Amino acid sequence: MSDMDSLFLRIIERELPADIVRENERVIAIRDINPQAPTHVLVVPKKRYRNAAELAAADPELLAELITVAREIAAQEGIEESGYRLLFNTNEDAGQTIFHVHLHLLGGEPLGGLTGGPLKS
C-alpha cells in the first residue's frame, strides 16, 4: 500500500493519534500537525483514493461530502464569513506527499495568493 500504509488509514483505525474535529461513517477531519494557517483541517475520506481526480471519477458524491464537511467545519471554527480556502494537492508536482486524497481547509487569517511557496501534505 505504501505511504506508511497510508498515514490516514492508521489514524482512522486509531493506530496513530490525531486531533479529530469531525467524523462520520465516510469521512474523518483532523487538525494538520504542521498547520499553514490558524485553522488548518484535513478532511479525509475513510475509503482510500490516491488523489482528487481518482475520487471524482469513482465517487463524486463522496467528493461533494468532503466539501460539505469542510464548510460545516469552517462555520464551527468561526471562519465561514471571513473566508477560507479549500485545497486539494494532486500528485507530486502539486506538493502531494500522502497519496490518500485529503482536502485542506485553511483560514483564520488573510491567506494571500497561491504562489507563496509549496504547501505540503
**Tell me: the pLDDT tens digits for 27-66?**
999 999 999 999 999 999 999 999 999 999 999 999 999 9
Domain limits at 81? 3-107
Q: Count the domains in the chain.
A: 1
User: Domain holding 43: CATH number?
Assistant: 3.30.428.10
Contact 86, 103 (CB under 8 A): yes
1 pLDDT band, cuts 50/70/90, is very low
Average pLDDT estimate for 99-105: 95
User: Would residue 102 show up in a list of annotated catalytic residues for this protein?
Assistant: yes
Which grid coordinates are listed for 107? 483560514
Catalytic residue of the set 40, 100, 102, 104: 102
Beta bridge partners of 8: none
Residue type at 29?
Answer: A
Residue 12, CA distances (Å) to 16, 86, 97 in order: 8, 22, 18
Say if 114 falls within a structural domain: no
Say if 79 falls within a structural domain: yes
Which grid coordinates are listed for 60? 463524486
Say if 65 falls within a structural domain: yes
Residue type at 39?
Answer: T
CB burial class (10 A; 0-12, 13-18, 19+) of residue 20? middle
Say if 93 falls within a structural domain: yes
